[in-house]
Structure 1
Amino acid sequence: MAQPDRREHDASLLERLAGWVLLLEGWRRVVLTIAAGALCTFALPPYNFPAVGFVGFPLLVWLLDGVVVDPGRSLIRRMAPAFVTGWLFGFGYFVAGLWWLGAAMLVDAAAFAVFIPLAVLGLPAILAIYYGLAAALARLVWSDSALRIFALAGAFALFEYLRAILFTGFPWNEIGVMAAPAPLLMQTSSLIGVHGLTLLAVIVFSSPAILIDRRGRGPVLVVAAALLTFHLGFGLWRLQTHPTEFVENVRLRVVQPNIEQSQKWAVNQAETIFERHISLTEARNDTAAIPGATIALSPDTTAPTTGAMSPPPQTLVVWPESSFPFLLTERPDAIARIAETLQPNETLIAGAARIEGPDIETSRVYNSVYVIDDEGEIVAARDKTHLVPFGEYLPFQEFLEGFGLTQLAEMPGGFSAGAARAKVSLDGAPSFLPLICYEIIFPGEIDVGTAETRPGFLVNDTNDAWYGATPGPYQHLRLAELTSVAVGLPLVRSANTGISVVNDAYGRQIGGLALGSTGTIEVGLPRAGAATLFARFGSLPFWLAFLVTWMAAVVSRLRMRARID
């Protein structure tokens, strides 16, 4: 008899907690809602503690249960309390998850420190509108059934999708990321993408809220448990049945120079920065060559693994975004130095500013990737197509410059967007798709589902030095890893100050360098996986799952109305 009494006691505690949350008013309700959103950020990198989702989302469900709606008012007025609840939750989530954006304003504090409140509070306030609209939409089909968490999941997934595409898109820290703290839990993204993970995450995280429900609790809890079991089981199966394999005769040398952002474009540091890249490239497994540098070796450097050869005839050297503190095409001496450094069958993939026109003041400047062969010839170039607003260019430039605003990048007029994204073919190695900086957080824009467009691996060259030792670089890495797993391609990531990694197509790290360290990663090139469901069909599987979820919520709402009528 002790066990039933214990269950009843636990249910009673949960009911009392839910009742207390439902009846909250005024500032206490505001504080709890913001805190619930902020708590959820501990599921994100670098904390990676998804259990907080089982607290934050049940609180949100109960807070929405407690929304008072006057049926005599207009639709907008009826939805306003739910919107405010969702907005407060989102404001807490985005402030706690994006506060590190303020660090970028301190690189040139004299010019940009005044804008810290806009970055730390203004942007979260805008992004929170998506969550406010999601809560309002969910409340529109809310019911007294446990299926109301399907309404919440569908609404959040829909507005996370919209957040990724509207106004150039900003899908940073989507709720689905909370459900993917490790490779085991990333694999579901290969089926339904990160938007689908959001759908799954909200259902699973919200499930404790319905433990006290009387109507429809059992089936919904079974669905939530089944989703969690599938999420874990599919990840385990995929990792166990797809061991890491390497491309024969190809190796990688990923350089992490660790240049502080305050020095990155200093004229008097240009040669020092360039020579650091050169020295790290020349080190080649010699840990004593660069004082304080780290050489991260893969297992196949010292022992045979699938497809590995020693020494390999082809080496790909990868430098980070904006590696050159000058325009490379105006420095034939630098190109000659690169040719001198690269050994036969070594190819350099490096981030660089590329100019079209007579001078930097009147020409188009692109944030690009150069491919340079061992004779110093630039054999390919690709331009960044998805630029960072306010970072690489200033929207409504003439208008906003009148208020003293400029983009963070030290480039007259900002960068121009490239015309198209395309893979780069290499001699003696698989092709690759360059994704510069935060281009990699937009998996929906990456066309890699057909034989014609599919490369052998992804190259993400980036510079996260703007954000220092904050959660920002860890979050950026996680988003890159999720894109890699979603499309089933290895990730080769060179980040100026970190975090540089080489991952296989399933998110397993082959080699990496810590944030703030200097060094190189010497590893084999992992082999590409088969085109995933997401790579082939994009968001279609997500939309099918969304429709099923949303229809279940709508039917529950209609049944409730029928009972009332």
Structure 2
Amino acid sequence: MLGLGALAALALPPVHFLPVLLLSFGLLGQTLNTTTSWKRAAWAGGLFGFGFYATGLYWLIHAVLIRAEEFWWFVPFPSLGCALILAPTVAAPAALSLLAPPGLRRLGAFAALWTLADMSRTFLFSGFTWNALGSCLAIPGVVGDILIQPAAWVGEDGLTLGLVLLSTLAGVACLRGTALRPRTRAIILGGSVCAVLVWCILGAVRFYTVTPAGEPGPIAVIAQGNVPETEKVDRLNPREIFRRYLRLTRDGVQQALALDHRPPTPPSLADAEPENTGRPIVFLWPETSFPGYDLLQDSPQARAVIMQWGNGADAGLIGALRMDEQGRYRNSMLALAPDGAIEDIYDKARLVPFGEYQPPFIPLQIVPQGGMAAGPGPRTLHLRGLPPVGPLICYEVIFSGDVTDRHDRPRWLANITNDAWFGNSAGPRQHLASVRLRAVEEGLPIARAANTGISAVYDGRGHLLHSLGWDQTAVFAVPLPAPLPATLFALYGQNIPLSVCVILFVTCISYTRSQKKRSAAQRL
């Protein structure tokens, strides 16, 4: 089972080898179908989950290797430790699936329970929802564009439910020696093929027919400075890195002005009220853009210099650490006005466990000074001259259904991140898949600035408009389209996949109980 879980991880980004799910989940489902011991089921699920998460999260060790001379002893713990913590989220569904009788109902119950347990990971520590199986469908290109469209109705967790259900049922049906009757086997395989066809048809219809509504978004200028994490950790070359971002910003705003056919503001009018002569322009710097983070908070002159180099932009969204009034550090996004003033601040709410904050039950001091302070949660920033924007810092974007203020829907999303911690591995690609899925779920275009890559812009269908690959120093400007009408998932969020899972599980269990009552009545 350990190997099967590791094999299943090949379906995750960036490999997307979906056929492996038929084998791995088929054998797991067959094990659950042939056992009467909940302990054996729990062990099978736990080993499967440990293999799946240990393999899928291997890239976490890169963050430790950056400071290997200090934390060498911690190298095995990130991926293996997370896998050990997450393994019960598979062990419990496997054991509880025995509440249903062997066959289709037990496999259906397992799929529902897997998805419910997956959703519960939102509440582990500050949340750790990496590697949801639904992200396997975010295949680069048009194929992925079509496959992920149902997320607009059922969210990423709904995609997970569909994948687990289809993979388990069809996988068991494909195995020899199962207890399934030939007719049942044929029905499962035929039904699975029909379900996939319906899935693709619905996805294609939505992708090619849904249209944006309202005014288009701003022209987003994405600066990718490509700063190695060692330089930031050791605070090396802050002046040169700052200049690099200034040059990128200047070049990017010039690209945006060319797209907009708007001349830059003359220096003599820089302090005047800007005229709305075209589409607004906003530039994005990644999370904790450069080592001199105190400079942005404490120096109005430095902020003014940034906006001078970005002459022509209506705002700048800058990733920076800052210190609040209580002396606590926060991971923040500063929204700069054209004169360099801080117009608004967004503080990251979802902090990375062991990276940005230390869980209180850990006896060893791993995170310096115990970590950072968290912000209040999703917000919509209303900046002068810009359409309302929903800010997201780093892995906040992986939390399905929790990326926007439901009472103040933004018109676009801005995600700044620093994936340099995880090297040229699967981690940044898995992160990017989450960005794409959030665009589909919310029906909102999203602009992403990543320090070392992968920076990208998606429209509200999750279709890629432009990107910069890993380890590139460059800038690009993309006019954001208008948002799509609010999706079903944007309106009701996690209530949709939660309700579907509960109904599926209760149906399996209720049918079992009614069948037992009928059997008892017949015996009497």
TM-score (norm. length: structure 1): 0.82
Q: Which residue of 2 aligns with 1:191?
A: 153
In structure 2, distance between residues paired with 1:536 and 1:219: 35
1:369 aligned partner, one-letter code:
M
Q: Distance in 2 between matches of 1:344 and 1:552?
A: 59
Give, as a single letter, the amino acid of the residue that structure 2 aligns with 1:167. F
Measured in 1, the distance between the counterparts of 2:260 and 2:469 equals: 20
CA drift at 1:377: 1.1
Deviations 1:306-348 (A, max 9, x none): xxxxx94521101110114221122333223113212134311
Counterpart Cα distance in 1 of 2:493 and 2:252: 40
> For the residues of structure 1 that align with 2:42 and 2:96, how far apart are their CA atoms?
8
Whether 1:438 and 2:395 are equivalent positions in the alignment is yes
Displacement of 1:488: 1.1
Whole-angstrom CA distance in 1 between matches of 2:94 and 2:216: 51
Name the CA distance, whole Å, in 2 between partners of 1:35 and 1:300.
Answer: 52
Identity of aligned residues (%): 33
2:439 equivalent in structure 1? 484
Q: How does 1:170-185 map to 2 (within 5 A)?
A: 170-181=128-139, 182-185=144-147
* Match status 1:553 vs 2:501: no
Q: Please state how far the C-alpha of 1:266 moved relative to its aligned partner.
A: 3.0
Query: 4+ runs of 1 displaced by more than 4 Å?
Result: 215-223, 243-249, 299-302, 559-565
- Report the 3-state secondary structure (helix = DSSP H, G, I; strand = E; otherwise coil) of the residue aligned with 1:161: helix
Please show how residues 42-81 of structure 1 align to structure 2 within 5 Å.
42-67=10-35, 69=36, 78-81=37-40
CA gap of 1:249–1:186, structure 2 versus 1, over 3 A, is closer
2: CA distance, partners of 1:91 / 1:417: 30
1:190: Cα distance to partner? 1.1
Partner of 1:90: 49
User: How big is the shift at 1:548?
Assistant: 3.3
Partner of 1:102: 61
Q: Distance in 1 between matches of 2:101 and 2:69?
A: 50
Q: Which amino acid aligns with 1:428?
A: G
Distance change >3 Å, CA 301–CA 208, structure 1 → 2: farther
What one-letter code is carried by the residue in structure 1 that aligns with 2:147? L
Q: Which residue number in structure 1 is paired with residue 109 of structure 2?
A: 151
Question: For 1:554 and 1:285, how far apart are their aligned partners in 2?
Answer: 59
Aligned pairs, number: 494
Partner residue of 2:358? 394
Q: Evaluate the alpha carbon distance shift between residue 247 and residue 500 of structure 1 in structure 2; reply closer, same or farther with a 3 A threshold.
A: farther
- Contact persistence 1:247–1:524 (CA under 8 A): no
Deviation larger for 510-519 or 180-189? 180-189
Aligned AA (1:174): A
Match of 1:270 in 2: 238
**Which secondary structure state, in structure 2, belongs to the residue aligned with residue 531 of structure 1?**
coil
RMSD over aligned Cα atoms: 2.7
Farther-moved stretch of structure 1 (245-254 vs 331-340): 245-254
| Displacement of 1:222 | 5.3
Which string of whole-angstrom CA distances, capped at 9 and with x for unpartnered residues, describes residues 12-47 of structure 1? xxxxxxxxxxxxxxxxxxxxx112111111111111
Change in 2 beyond 3 A, CA 1:221/1:550: farther
The answer to whether structure 1 residue 251 and structure 2 residue 219 are counterparts is: yes
Q: Name 2:205's counterpart in structure 1.
A: 237
Cα distance in structure 2, aligned partners of 1:496 and 1:113: 25
1:510 pairs with one of 424, 446, 465: 465
Seen in structure 2, the aligned counterparts of structure 1 residues 148 and 222 have a Cα distance that, compared at 3 Å, is farther
Distance in 1 separating the partners of 2:119 and 2:25: 19
SS of 1:523 mapped into structure 2: strand
The separation in 2 between residues aligned to 1:336 and 1:429, in whole angstroms, is 19
CA distance in 1, matches of 2:131, 2:318: 28
Specify the alignment match of 2:287 in structure 1. Answer: 321
Match 1:166 to one of 99, 110, 124: 124
Residues 111-141 of structure 1: per-residue CA shift (max 9 Å, x gap):
2221121112121111111101111011221
Query: How far apart, CA to CA, are the structure 2 residues paired with 1:250 and 1:457?
Result: 9
Q: Which amino acid letter does the alignment assign opposite residue 158 of structure 1? A: L
Rounded Cα–Cα distance in structure 2 between residues aligned with 1:284 and 1:120: 38
Distance 1:100 1:366 in 2: 25
Distance in 1, Cα, partners of 2:249 & 2:313? 14
Q: Residue 281 of structure 2 contacts residue 312 of structure 2 at CA under 8 Å; is this kept in 1? A: no
Q: Do the aligned partners of 2:250 and 2:309 also contact (CA within 8 Å) in 1?
A: yes
Q: Does 1:260 align with 2:219?
A: no
Give the equivalent residue in structure 1 for 2:333. Answer: 369
Larger deviation, residues 327-336 vs 39-48: 327-336
Q: Is 1:39 paired with 2:10?
A: no
- Mapped to 1, the partners of 2:282 and 2:417 lie a distance apart of 17
Verify: 1:406 aligned to 2:366, yes or no.
Answer: yes
- Alignment of structure 1 residues 25-36 onto 2, 5 Å: 33-36=1-4
Question: Quick one: distance in 1 between partners of 2:217 and 2:131?
Answer: 37
- Distance in 2, matches of 1:515 and 1:243, equals 31
Please tell me whether the aligned partners of residues 146 and 220 of structure 1 are also in contact (alpha carbons under 8 angstroms): no
Give the drift of 1:421.
2.9
Contact persistence 1:448–1:535 (CA under 8 A): no
- How far apart in 2 are the matches of 1:195 and 1:107? 33
Q: Is this contact kept in 1: 2:13–2:430, CA < 8 A?
A: yes
Q: Please give the alpha-carbon distance, in whole angstroms, between the structure 1 residues aligned to 2:260 and 2:94.
A: 52
Distance 2:215 2:221 in 1: 14
Q: What per-residue deviation string (whole Å, max 9, x for no partner) do you get for residues 396-438 of structure 1?
A: 1xx74x53x322xxx6442101134311112332110101111
Give unmatched runs, 5+ long, in structure 2: 262-276
Q: Go from structure 1 to structure 2 and tell me whether the alpha carbon gap of 1:279 and 1:142 turns closer, same or farther (over 3 Å shift).
A: farther
Greater shift in the superposed pair: 339-348 or 216-225: 216-225
Normalising to structure 2: TM-score of the pair?
0.88
SS at match of 1:434: strand
Whichever residue aligns with residue 329 of structure 2, its letter is V
Given that 2:213 and 2:485 are in contact with CA atoms closer than 8 Å, whether structure 1 keeps it comes out as no
Contact kept, 8 Å, 1:105 with 1:115, in 2: the verdict is yes
Distance 1:365 1:250 in 2: 31
List alignment gaps of at least 5 residues for structure 1.
Answer: 1-32, 70-77, 287-294, 303-310
Cα offset, 1:467, TM superposition: 0.4
